[in-house]
Structure 1
Amino acid sequence: MSGFTVGVAILGGLVLAVLVAWNAWTTRQLKPRQADQALPRNEPGEEPVPVEPVFDAEEPPLPMPEKKPGLDALIDALAPIAVEHPVAGEAAMAALPATRRAGSKPFAVEGLNEATQQWEVPQAGQRYTAFQAGVQLANRTGALNEIEFSEFVVKAQAFADAVNGAAEFPDMLPEVARARELDQFAGGHDAQLSFTLRARNAAWSPGYVQQNASRFGFVAGAIPGRLVLPSSQAGNPPLLVLSFDSHAALSEDPAQSAIREVSLSLDVPQVPRGEQPFARMRDAAIGLAAGMDGAIIDDNGQVIAAEGLDVVGADLEMLYDTLESRDLAAGSPQARRLFS
């Protein structure tokens, strides 16, 4: 074999080796980042055996609310229902309509408990000396309209007849006008913030996202691909939500699912100001971006600097003040119902 042939063969081998190395490097770069491996305790002299961490999508369940916020004249059209004699809870429950909505608006009936003198949803084993029916004036679907008000009257009157009560209804036109004004206010002060975290280089696996998010207090939500930062108050909505593609979470092999973006969101009117949700959102966004080699971007794909987040926080403080001046403080039962 000539020297030239040997040289070509050597050169070809080197090229092949470089290609193999480059391919291996590229494969590692494209493979989604995985959660850190946990090392079990080993006997002296034994090699540590890595174990892939397991994340239980079912834990821990969020606490369920004990009671829905009651009717309130601030955001409900109310119709008092007088009865001559106390009504058993079982009879009141049987008289309730099959649906708890009038059009797109929540409808409810409450009874004045004879023993506690508190308004509550009728319950078995209790007696009630009066009732009130109510329909919500506005929510995120819009203001109460004339058709919905009429449906409210029909439902409330049917309940009153069933318990031998007398209902007194407010005038429709003033209530509908009040609903429109409330809806206009809500529409101008409804803030739902969202930041996107985008991977700069390698994509992320679901386990990698969950492991990093857990360092900021996030836990698995009830929906695949949804992590939540629970409220400190049982029954309240989560402070923040971190979400990603549900298909990646439901994949047969989640470790190989490539996630390039996650969304971090805050429903401002739903969360009390005292929980400092935006400060925690800001810290989580910056911390996750740094820990996961990601960038914080806006809806236009532009990178948001920390200074930009501070500006948003200052604007939110003014929004909180405005909501409180209207007796609709963020996180209050009234605000949670209005902004839903």
Structure 2
Amino acid sequence: MSDLQIGLIALGVLLILLVLGFNWWQDRRARQRMQARFPATEQDPLFGAEAAARTATPEHQRREPGIGVPGSAATSAAAAASEPPNNTADDAEEPDPACEVVVEIHFAEPVSGADLLGAVRDLTHVGRKPVRVFASTDRGRHRARLHAEESYATLQLAVLLANRSGALTAIEWSQLWARAQGLADRFEATIEGPDQQVVVDRATKLDEFCASLDAQVGLTLTLQAPRATAEVIGVARELGFAVDGGHLSWLADTGATRFTLSRADGGGFDNGMAPVDRLVLLLDVPRSPEDERAFGRMVDVGRDLAARLQAELVDDHGKPVVDGMETSIDQQLLTLFRKLDQAGLPAGGERALRVFG
């Protein structure tokens, strides 16, 4: 073997050693970064989390998702809050595992909130399912809103499993995954999420379960003669209705909607001034706070409206509303309210508003 061949072999071995050494160095650097974010512990992560929850003071405890947690599902979590965050506290609002599924994105290096805000600003829906955006800062704080002045280590995309448009479909799930993959490619990140079939099966079961608890009760006011829209709105507001977009709402003391008043032709009160000849009162049971006189209260208001607008009040079958019918219907609705509560979907609560939206 010539000196040249020996030299080439030695050079090749040296190059291999250099590559191995470089890979080892990169791996060690990555591990150091991960350990810096997630300090090593001798406890099992699950048991450690439970122990921390038991011993933490109230102001440092994470609030589990549930009914009554502040925040609106209709508000995009990607919008920056008007007030700067308290860097020592977690946000209370979290994904709801009972009705949402999460895709988690782990960044190799912290990403600025300003960059993320631009990337997820339009990520509010996939198909007909709303998406909420959550994040964890590089200091381990949970955020329900992104803030331009912070940096983030992870991002969570929470999509609703089912609503009145049906169960989350494989196409909608694929759309969310594609958006997550785009974010991962852009910011050098990895993605974690459940298998598609598992997600679709969960969505189908939730949809079927909620369908068994869904109910709406309506009354119709047939006016003797068409009335101007402005006149109808004025009479309704005198009775106590509040303008709510294209319809009018009768509110509970808490501000929640008990029932609504709308045009029977499907148009909005805020969309043109065509005369009104029929009106619809609608009690959306899962979205209305529990009330022992839920239907009876709507009947009382409907009778007042009918008297003021010279209209006839009829039920869903076109029959006049007679005295006493509200009592039996209220009893049926009270049973449904209790079933919703037992199912973890209290009527008018945050979770019910999501899945019955």
Name the TM-score, length of structure 2 as normaliser.
0.65
* SS of residue matched to 2:344: coil
Residues 1:271 and 1:249: Cα distance change in structure 2 (over 3 Å): closer
* Residue matched to 1:272: 289
Matched, 1:190 2:247: no
| Contact 2:245–2:270 (CA under 8 A) maintained in structure 1 | no
Residues 1:101 and 1:227: Cα distance change in structure 2 (over 3 Å): closer
| Contact 1:113–1:120 (CA under 8 A) maintained in structure 2 | no
- AA partner of residue 229 (structure 1): W
Q: Using the alignment, how far apart are the partners of 2:269 and 2:102 within structure 1? A: 47
| TM-superposed deviation, 1:278 | 3.8
| TM-superposed deviation, 1:231 | 5.3
* SS of residue matched to 2:324: helix
Gap regions ≥5 residues in structure 1: 1-63
Runs of 4+ more than 6 Å apart: 247-252
Q: Using the alignment, how far apart are the partners of 2:339 and 2:144 within structure 1? A: 30
- Paired residue total: 268
| TM-superposed deviation, 1:147 | 2.2
* Residue matched to 2:260: 241
Give aligned-pair identity as a percent: 29
| Contact 1:269–1:329 (CA under 8 A) maintained in structure 2 | yes
* SS of residue matched to 1:72: coil
* Residue matched to 2:199: 175
Residues 1:275 and 1:221: Cα distance change in structure 2 (over 3 Å): farther
* Residue matched to 2:183: 159
Q: Using the alignment, how far apart are the partners of 2:271 and 2:354 within structure 1? A: 32
| TM-superposed deviation, 1:198 | 2.1
| Contact 1:97–1:159 (CA under 8 A) maintained in structure 2 | no
| TM-superposed deviation, 1:194 | 1.5
| TM-superposed deviation, 1:205 | 4.3
Q: Using the alignment, how far apart are the partners of 1:142 and 1:187 within structure 2? A: 9
2:235 is aligned, of 212, 219, 222, to: 212
* SS of residue matched to 1:300: coil
What RMSD in Å do the two structures reach over aligned CA positions?
3.2
Matched, 1:309 2:332: no
* SS of residue matched to 2:146: coil
* SS of residue matched to 1:212: helix
Residues 1:67 and 1:146: Cα distance change in structure 2 (over 3 Å): closer
Matched, 1:296 2:313: yes
* Residue matched to 2:173: 149
* Residue matched to 1:228: 249
2:301 is aligned, of 275, 284, 296, to: 284
Gap regions ≥5 residues in structure 2: 1-70, 77-92
* Residue matched to 2:28: none
More relative contact order, 1 or 2 (CA 8 Å, 6+ apart): 1
- AA partner of residue 209 (structure 1): V
* Residue matched to 1:104: 128
| TM-superposed deviation, 1:128 | 2.5
Q: Using the alignment, how far apart are the partners of 1:249 and 1:133 within structure 2? A: 34
Listed one character per residue, the Cα deviations across residues 267-295 of structure 1 (whole Å, up to 9, x for unaligned) are: 22223226975453232113223444433
Q: Using the alignment, how far apart are the partners of 1:275 and 1:91 within structure 2? A: 50
- AA partner of residue 240 (structure 2): G
* Residue matched to 2:349: 332
* Residue matched to 2:144: 120
* Residue matched to 1:11: none
Residues 1:182 and 1:115: Cα distance change in structure 2 (over 3 Å): same
Residues 1:250 and 1:107: Cα distance change in structure 2 (over 3 Å): closer
Q: Using the alignment, how far apart are the partners of 1:119 and 1:247 within structure 2? A: 37
| TM-superposed deviation, 1:140 | 1.2
* Residue matched to 1:262: 279
Name the TM-score, length of structure 1 as normaliser.
0.67
| Contact 1:197–1:262 (CA under 8 A) maintained in structure 2 | yes
Residues 1:334 and 1:173: Cα distance change in structure 2 (over 3 Å): same
1:87 is aligned, of 101, 105, 111, to: 111
| TM-superposed deviation, 1:230 | 4.1
* Residue matched to 2:6: none
* Residue matched to 1:73: 97
Q: Using the alignment, how far apart are the partners of 2:269 and 2:113 within structure 1? A: 48
* SS of residue matched to 1:273: coil
| Contact 2:292–2:334 (CA under 8 A) maintained in structure 1 | no
| Contact 2:162–2:206 (CA under 8 A) maintained in structure 1 | yes
